[in-house]
Amino acid sequence: MNKKHFRKQFLLLTLAGSVGAGTLVGCSGQQTAEEETEVTATTEQNQMDIKQEPFGKTKEGEETTLYTLTNEKGMQVQITDYGATITSVLTPDREGKMADVVLGFDSLAGYQSPEYLKSGPYFGAIVGRYGNRIAKGKFTIDGQEYKLATNNGVNHLHGGVKGFDKVVWEAEPMPGQNAVRFKYVSPDGEEGYPGTLTSTVTYTLTNDNEIKIDYEATTDKATPVNLTNHSYFNLAPGQAKDALGHVLTINADKYTVVDETLIPTGELRDVKGTVMDFNTPQAIGARVKQVEGGGYDHNYVLSETGDGLKKAATVYEPTSGRVMEVLTTEPGIQFYSGNFLDGTITGAGGNKYEKHYGFALETQHFPDSPNQPKFPSTILEPGETYKSTTVYKFSTRDQQ
C-alpha cells in the first residue's frame, strides 16, 4: 500500500468510526463514509465534518456536547463545551499508530466526580479569568481594591471556585476552518472580578497536525485576564506509565521565583547551572526529585520576545517517537510536572493517574501579575481586545 493510499484508507476508517449516534456538521452537508472516500484528500482546511454528540448533563441539569475535529492525516481532537475542555487528542506514533496523548475522560461524569473535584487538576480545560495564582485573592485597579474567591489556601487559583473550566460555553462549529469557537460571557463580579468579560476561544485542527488555540476577550471595566489551556500530556504508548521519560526543552533563561504558597516573589532568576535549566533537552525525571515542592511547578520567562508566535518548548517521547512543539504569543509558560496527581483518578483509558503521570505546559502571562508592577501587565481595559495564540504541533522522530 503506498503512502497516499494508506492515508485514504485511514481516512475511511476514521470517518466510518465517526458516523453513528452523533451529528455531523460539514460545509458539504452530510455524507456517508463511502461517499467521503471519493473526495480526494487536499491540503485545504475545508473538507472535514465536525461530529457532535451528547457528553452528559451537569449537576445543574445543563446538557453538554462533545465536538470531534479530524484532519486529513487522521489526527483527532475532542473538545467539550464544559469548560471548553480538550478531552482527547489522537496522534500517530513513529509507526503511524494512533493513541491518545492527553489525560481526560470520555464523559462529563469524570469531570464532575468527587475525586476529580477534590484534587482539582483542570485536565484540558480553559482556565480563567486568570490562569494561575493571585496572592491572597486581592488586587487594586485605579485605587480600588477587589477581593476574589480564595480556593487555594489563602490564594486565588485558576479563576476561583467556579472558574471558566466549570461553566458551559456556547459553541459554534466552523467546519470550513476545521474549528470550533467557544464563547463565554462572565458577568460583572463573578468570582469577585470587575466588569462583564466576553471571551472566545477557537480551537483549530490543521492538516499539519497542529492544534491552534486563539483567545480573545473584551470587557466593560478594567479587569485582569490571563487565559490558558490546562491540558496534561503523556505521549507514551497507551499512557502505560508516568511521563518522567519525556525529554523536554524550554526556551527560557529565567523563571519567576515563588514563595512556599507558589506566589512569585518578583525575582526573575537565571536557570543556568540549576535543575530548572531546560535550554538543552532533559528528561523530565532526571532532576525532578531535586526540585523543591515535589517537582516542577514554575513559570518560565520565555527568551524570545516580540510579536507573533515564538517557540516556547519541545517534548520528545523516545519510545513512541512522538514530538510536541509549543509555540505561543505569550511571554511565559507554566511547566507543571503533575506533582499533585496521586492515583485517585482513573482516566479514559483505564489508567490510574499517579504522580507525574502527565505534565502541563500552560502558555500565560506571569502568575500574580496584578500585584507585580514589574511583570508585563494583564489588565484589560474597556475598548481593548485581549488576544493570545498558542499552537501545539505534533510530529514524530525516527530514531530513539
Of 72 and 297, which CB lies nearer to ligand BGC in the complex structure?
297
Distance CA 217, CA 226 (A): 10
C-alpha cell recorded at residue 158: 485558576
Q: How far is the CB of 308 from ligand BGC (least distance, A)?
A: 25
Residue 94 annotated as part of some ligand binding site:
no
Query: What residue number has its CB nearest to ligand BGC?
Result: 336
Distance CA 300, CA 268 (A): 9
Q: How far is the CB of 339 from ligand BGC (least distance, A)?
A: 7
C-alpha cell recorded at residue 371: 500585584
Residue 365 annotated as part of some ligand binding site:
no
Residue 132 annotated as part of some ligand binding site:
yes
Among residues 156, 230, 246, 356, the one annotated as catalytic is 230
| Percent helix, strand and coil across the chain, each to the nearest 5 | 15, 40, 45
Q: How far is the CB of 182 from ligand BGC (least distance, A)?
A: 20
Residue 129 annotated as part of some ligand binding site:
no
* SS3 letters across the chain: CCHHHHHHHHHHHHHHHHCCCCEEECCCCCCCHHHHHCCCCCCCCCCCCEEEEEEEECCCCCEEEEEEEECCCCCEEEEECECCEEEEEEEECCCCCEEECECCCCCHHHHHCHHHHHHCCCCCCEECCECCEEHHHEEEECCEEEECCCCECCEEECCCCCCHHHCECEEEEEHHHCEEEEEEEECCCHHHCCCCEEEEEEEEECCCCEEEEEEEEEECCCEECECEECCEECCCHHHCCCCCCCEEEECEEEEEEECCCCCEEEEEEECCCCCCCCCCCEEHHHCHHHCCCCCCEEEEEECCCCCCCEEEEEEECCCCCEEEEEEECCCEEEEECCCCCCCCCECCCCCECCCCCCEEEEEECCCCHHHCCCCCCCEECCCCCEEEEEEEEEEECCCC
- Whether the bond between 129 and the residue before it is cis, its omega within 30 degrees of 0, is yes
Residue 232 annotated as part of some ligand binding site:
yes
Of 72 and 191, which CB lies nearer to ligand BGC in the complex structure?
191
Of 18 and 234, which CB lies nearer to ligand BGC in the complex structure?
234
Q: How far is the CB of 197 from ligand BGC (least distance, A)?
A: 20
Of 158 and 181, which CB lies nearer to ligand BGC in the complex structure?
158
Residue 297 annotated as part of some ligand binding site:
yes
Of 121 and 331, which CB lies nearer to ligand BGC in the complex structure?
121
Of 66 and 341, which CB lies nearer to ligand BGC in the complex structure?
341
Q: How far is the CB of 132 from ligand BGC (least distance, A)?
A: 6
Residues at the contact surface with ligand BGC, assessed by CB under 6 A? 120-122, 132, 262, 297, 334, 336, 340, 360, 362
Q: How far is the CB of 358 from ligand BGC (least distance, A)?
A: 11
- Is residue 362 annotated as part of the catalytic site, yes or no? yes
- Is residue 53 annotated as part of the catalytic site, yes or no? no
Binding-site residue numbers for beta-D-galactose are: 132-133, 230-232, 297
Binding-site residue numbers are: 132-133, 230-232, 297
Active site residues per annotation: 230, 362
